[in-house]
Amino acid sequence: MTVKDLELTGRHTSVAVPQLMVQGVLTWLRSRLVSGAVCVCVGACLLLHYCSVCQNKSWQKLKTMVHFSPFVVSFKKRYPWVQLAGHAGNFQAGEFGRLLKRYCECEQQCLQKLMKDTLRPYVPGYYGVVQRDEQDYNLMDDLLADFDSPSIMDCKMGSRTYLEEELTKARERPRLRKDMYDKMVAVDPGAPTEEERAQQGVLKPRYMQWRETLSSTATLGFRIEGIKKADGTCNTNFKKTKQREQVMQALKDFVDGNTQILKLYLERLEELRSVLDQSVFFRTHEVVGSSLLFVHDSSGKARVWMIDFGKTVPLPPDQTLDHRTPWVEGNREDGYLWGLDNLIDILSSMLPQTP
Ligand SMILES: Nc1ncnc2c1ncn2[C@@H]1O[C@H](COP(=O)(O)OP(=O)(O)OP(=O)(O)O)[C@@H](O)[C@H]1O
Ligand SMILES: O=P(O)(O)O[C@@H]1[C@H](O)[C@H](O)[C@@H](OP(=O)(O)O)[C@H](OP(=O)(O)O)[C@H]1O
């Protein structure tokens, strides 16, 4: 369920730890772990606390990964930092409340443009590319830095989680993914077709579409990827959270029923929506796989930011998107605003109605 050898797939492969020691930890985890998100937390915490201690050593190729984030990293023992979703080993601690995310040119281009866009207050501040141990990173604000024991939620936005160009590539050069087949079977043994079963592999777009329809991505235009609460509990098991009522329950649990926090989140999302309507960047980009990061703490502070622009790409000069029109191949619509409308609607319905 949690730790296993993995077919190497691009960005999954490196973490900042000596390989042998990590393999020892992983072997221990593999032999000991039982199911449950809290156990995942503890295991990942042990491993990645160690990673952070060793963060000045060179990054090494590691043919193993911890499945199912979150990854809890103690950044220089200052405060625990949590990676709720995404690829393992992509982040390192920076200085002064900043963090380093493994370099991705597409993300760099977006963050640079976003620093000059009306969306600037809704994305992490960006400070350029830095090198550590021969690896390039994008340096950005750590959005958790100003919070005390924060509760965090990652919501992946949009009705589509793969780029149109990924579809084209998969058609031109179909590549069967055994790791995705295995992830599919782990959730639903009946999901693969007979052909996929015989091949023991699925194409990436097929897997991504299956994930979209299993969760709320296809029906609501967003899905919860993970939640970590101030009490230390973590849950990344939202693959089947699909119905509006299930989403509401997860949100209610995330804020511990605190309507004041819900209200602050709602206000922030409404502001974000009106800024998105004005944003040149947003109008001229296909925004896929990007998340909203929700953060609050017991002081009553609650904020939301847009993160992850690794699959946000510029449109041709003559094209714009409204981000609400349903997607058909070729129109490049991503359903981002449709998802945000739904999220806002759900949060509003959870608040007591004012006469
Ligand atoms: N600027 C930030 N400040 C604080 N936490 C962050 C920040 N950026 C990312 N995170 C944490 O890391 C997680 C993964 O981030 P992100 O989606 O950018 O990674 P990724 O590896 O590109 O993901 P994906 O696999 O979806 O492409 C988030 O869920 C969040 O917990
Ligand atoms: O959440 P899951 O079920 O583990 O599936 C992963 C998730 O959809 C990621 O967003 C995706 O990375 P990208 O968004 O960067 O494509 C990754 O593809 P990958 O394995 O090809 O990196 C998937 O494996």
Query: What are the φ and ψ backbone dihedral angles of 228, each rounded to 5 degrees?
Result: -125, 125
183-236 confidence digits (pLDDT tens): 999 999 999 999 999 999 999 999 999 999 999 999 999 999 999 999 999 999
Average pLDDT over residues 292-314: 97
Whose alpha carbon is nearest atom 19 of ligand 1? 86
Q: Given this model, what pLDDT does residue 20 score?
A: 30
Question: 146 falls in which pLDDT band (50, 70, 90)?
Answer: very high
Q: How far is the CA of 86 from the centre of ligand 1 (A)?
A: 6
Which of 15, 75, 83 most suits a substitution to test ligand 1, by most atoms within 8 Å of the C-beta? 83
* Ligand 1 atom nearest to CA at 87: 21
pLDDT bin (cut points 50, 70, 90) of residue 26 is: very low
> How many C-alpha atoms does 92 have within 13 Å on its Cβ side?
26
Residue pair 311/289 in contact by the 8 Å Cβ criterion: yes
Output 48 or 302, whichever has higher pLDDT: 302
Angle, helices 204-214/164-172, rounded to nearest 10 degrees: 140
Over the chain, what is the mean pLDDT? 83
* C-alpha span between 342 and 220 (Å, rounded): 6
State the distance from the centre of ligand 2 to the C-alpha of 290, rounded, in angstroms: 12
- Which one has a higher pLDDT value, 226 or 26? 226
Instruction: Give the pLDDT score at 79.
Output: 62
Q: Which of 103, 2, 3, 133 minimizes the C-alpha distance to 63?
A: 3
Compute the average pLDDT of residues 299-303.
97
Is pLDDT at 40 greater than 80 in this prediction? no
Atom of ligand 1 nearest to the CA of 107: 22
The predicted structure's pLDDT at residue 75: 54
In DSSP terms, which residues pair with 138 in a beta bridge? 101, 129
pLDDT of residue 63: 25
What is the position in ligand 2's atom list of the atom closest to the CA of 166?
16
Identify which ligand lies nearest to the alpha carbon of 65.
2
Whether the link from the prior residue into 121 is cis, omega within 30° of 0, is no
Widest distance between CA atoms in the chain: 63
Q: Identify the band that residue 355 occupies on the pLDDT scale cut at 50, 70 and 90.
A: low
Which residues have any ligand 1 atom within 6 Å of their CB? Answer: 82-87, 90, 99, 124, 140-144, 152, 154, 289, 291, 293, 307-308, 310
Residue 96 has a pLDDT of 87
Does the Cβ of 323 fall within 6 Å of ligand 2? no
Decide: 226 in ligand 2 pocket, CB within 6 A. Answer: no
Whole-Å CA distances, 199 to 5, 168, 239, 297: 20, 21, 24, 47
Tell me if 311 CB under 6 Å of ligand 2.
yes
What's the mean pLDDT in 91-112?
95
Query: 47 vs 338, which has greater pLDDT?
Result: 338
Instruction: Inform me whether the pLDDT recorded for 246 exceeds 60.
Output: yes
Query: What integer pLDDT is reported at residue 184 of this predicted model?
Result: 98
Copy the structure tokens of residue 44: 């990942």
**pLDDT tier for residue 22 given thresholds of 50, 70 and 90:** very low
Residue 69 Cα to ligand 1 middle (Å): 11
Rounded distance from Cα 202 to ligand 1 centre (Å): 26
What is the percent of the chain with per-residue pLDDT over 90, rounded to a whole number? 73
What pTM did the predictor assign? Answer: 0.83
- Check residues 339 and 23 and name the one with the higher pLDDT: 339
Ligand 2 centroid to 349 CA: how many Å? Answer: 31
Q: Which atom of ligand 1 is nearest to the CA of 124?
A: 1
What is the pLDDT at residue 78? Answer: 56
Q: What is the mean pLDDT of residues 296-313?
A: 97
CA torsion through residues 308, 5, 199, 197, sign: negative
Give the mean pLDDT of 321-328.
97
Check pocket membership of 9 for ligand 2, CB cut-off 6 A.
Answer: yes
Which structure tokens are listed for 201?
């592999």
Residue with token string 């329950």 = 249
Distance from the CA of 317 to the center of ligand 2, in angstroms? Answer: 29
Q: How far is the CA of 215 from the centre of ligand 2 (A)?
A: 14
183 Cβ below 6 A of ligand 2: yes
Q: Is the pLDDT of residue 57 over 60?
A: no
Listed residue (39, 49, 99) closest to 305, CA to CA: 99
Query: Quick one: average pLDDT of 286-298?
Result: 98
* Rounded Cα gap, residues 133 and 121, in angstroms: 31
Distances in Å between the Cα of 208 and the Cα atoms of 136, 181, 215, 304 are 28, 11, 11, 25
The average pLDDT across 280-305 equals 97
How large is the average pLDDT for residues 7-18? 28
Q: What is the pLDDT of residue 335?
A: 98
Task: Report pLDDT for 71.
Answer: 57
Q: State if residue 289 touches ligand 2 by the CB under 6 angstroms criterion.
A: yes
- Centre of ligand 2 from the C-alpha of residue 87, in Å: 8
Q: What is the pLDDT of residues 155-171, one digit of tens each?
A: 999 999 999 999 999 99
What is the rounded CA–CA span in Å between residue 23 and residue 3?
11
Mean pLDDT of 76-94: 82
Task: Answer yes or no: is the C-beta of 229 below 6 A from any ligand 2 atom.
Answer: no
For ligand 1, atom 8, name the residue with the nearest CA: 307
